[in-house]
Amino acid sequence: MARPRILVVGAGFAGVACVRRLERRLPPGEADIALVTPYAYQLYLPLLPHVAAGVLTPQSVAISLRRGKHRTKVIPGGAIGVDAKAKICVVRSITGEIVDEPYDYIVLAPGSVTRTFDIPGLKEHGCGMKTLAEAAYIRDHVIAQLDLADASQDESERASRLQFVVVGGGYAGTETAACLQRLTTNAVKRYTSLDPTLIKWHLIDIAPKLMPELGDKLGRSAMECLQRRGIEISLGVSVAEAGPDKVTFTDGRVIPSRTLIWTAGVAASPLVGTLGAETVRGRLAVTAQLTLPGFDGVFALGDAAAVPDLEKGDGAVCPPTAQHAHRQGKKAADNIIASMRGEPLSPYMHKDLGLVVDLGGRDAVSKPLGVELHGISAQAVARGYHVSAMRTNVAKSRVLAAWALNATAGDDFVRIGFLKGRPPPLGELDYVDGDGYLTPQQVREHTASVIARMPEHG
Distance in angstroms between the alpha carbons of the first and the last residue of the chain: 24
> What is the C-alpha to C-alpha distance for residues 103 and 87, in angstroms, rounded to an integer?
6
Question: What pLDDT sits at residue 417?
Answer: 79
Same domain, 74 and 90: yes
Question: What pLDDT sits at residue 248?
Answer: 98
Question: What pLDDT sits at residue 430?
Answer: 59
CATH code, domain carrying 170:
3.50.50.100
* Spatial contact of 127 and 27, defined as CB atoms under 8 Å apart: no
- How many CB atoms neighbour CB 151 within 10 A? 12
The total number of structural domains that make up the chain: 2
Same domain, 347 and 416: no
Same domain, 259 and 135: yes
Calculate what percentage of the chain has a pLDDT beyond 90: 76
> What is the C-alpha to C-alpha distance for residues 30 and 32, in angstroms, rounded to an integer?
7
Same domain, 370 and 244: yes
Reference 13, options 389, 381, 306; nearest CA is 389
Question: What pLDDT sits at residue 428?
Answer: 61
Same domain, 292 and 248: no
Is the residue at 57 inside a domain?
no
Same domain, 346 and 299: yes
SS3 131: coil
Same domain, 27 and 167: no
> What is the C-alpha to C-alpha distance for residues 227 and 212, in angstroms, rounded to an integer?
17
CATH code, domain carrying 315:
3.50.50.60
Q: Residues 259-312: pLDDT tens digits? A: 999 999 888 999 999 999 999 999 999 999 999 999 999 999 999 999 999 988
Q: Which residues pair with 83 in a beta bridge?
A: 88
Q: Residues 221-272: pLDDT tens digits? A: 999 999 999 999 999 999 999 999 999 999 999 999 999 999 998 889 999 9
Is the residue at 188 inside a domain?
yes
Question: How far apart, in Å, are the Cα atoms of 226 and each of 4, 136, 166, 360, 410?
Answer: 53, 23, 13, 10, 20
Residue 219 has pLDDT above 80, yes or no: yes
Q: Which residues pair with 91 in a beta bridge?
A: 79, 99
Is the residue at 153 inside a domain?
yes
Calculate what percentage of the chain has a pLDDT beyond 70: 95
Question: What pLDDT sits at residue 457?
Answer: 45
Helix H or strand E segment including 285:
strand 283-285
Confidence band of 188 (pLDDT split at 50, 70, 90): very high
Burial (CB count <10 Å: 0-12, 13-18, 19+), residue 67:
middle
Question: What pLDDT sits at residue 242?
Answer: 97
Q: Residues 69-121: pLDDT tens digits? A: 689 999 999 999 999 999 999 999 999 899 999 999 999 999 998 888 899 99
Is the residue at 361 inside a domain?
yes
Residue 329 has pLDDT above 60, yes or no: yes
Same domain, 16 and 95: yes
Q: Please give the model's pTM, rounded to 2 decimal places.
A: 0.92
Q: Residues 55-78: pLDDT tens digits? A: 999 999 999 998 876 899 999 999
Confidence band of 456 (pLDDT split at 50, 70, 90): low
Domain limits for position 237? 122-264+354-426
* Spatial contact of 90 and 79, defined as CB atoms under 8 Å apart: yes
Same domain, 258 and 199: yes
Same domain, 182 and 240: yes
Is the residue at 242 inside a domain?
yes
Over the range 12-41, which residues count as b (16 or more CB within 10 Å of their CB) and which as e? bbbbbbbbbbbeeebeeeebbbbbbbbbeb
Is the residue at 310 inside a domain?
yes
Question: What pLDDT sits at residue 416?
Answer: 83
DSSP character at residue 3: P
Same domain, 342 and 437: yes
Same domain, 155 and 79: no
SS3 245: coil
- Kindly state the average pLDDT of the residues 429-455: 75
